Chains A and B, each alone.
Chain A
Amino acid sequence: MNEYHRLSMNRRNFLRGAIGATTSLCCSYPIHAAATSNGAAQKAIVITFGGGARDDETFSIDGQQYIPNLLNTLAPQSCFFTQVINRGILGHYVATASIATGAYETFDNFIAQPPQHPTIFEYFRKDLRRPREDAWVIAPGNLFAQIGSSQNRRYGPDTGAEVVLPKQLLAAALGNTNLLQLDAFPDLLRDNYERPDLTPNGATNPGQEEMQRIIHRMNLDPADLRAQATILHSPDELSVYMTKHVMRTYAPSLLFLTLHDIDVAHSGAFSLYLEGIRRTDRLCAEMWEEIQSNPEYKDKTTLFIMPDFGRDGDSDPGGNGFQHHRTGSASARTTWMMTLGPTIRQKTVVERPIESIDLAAGISGVLGFDGRLMQGKRIPELA
Chain B
Amino acid sequence: LDRELVSEALIRRLRSVSALDDEDVRAVRSLPQTVRRYPANQPIVRDGDKPSECCLIMEGFCLRAKTTSHGHTQILSFHNPGDIPDLESLHLHVMDHDLVTLTDCTLSFISHTALRDLTRRRYGVAEALWRETLIDAARFREWIINVGQRPAVNRLAHIVIEMRERLKVIGRCEGERVEMPFTQEQLAMGIAPVHVNRVVKQLRDERIVEFSRGAVTVIDERRLLQLADFDDVYLHQAPSS
- Binding partners A and B: no
Residues of A within 8 A of B (CB): none
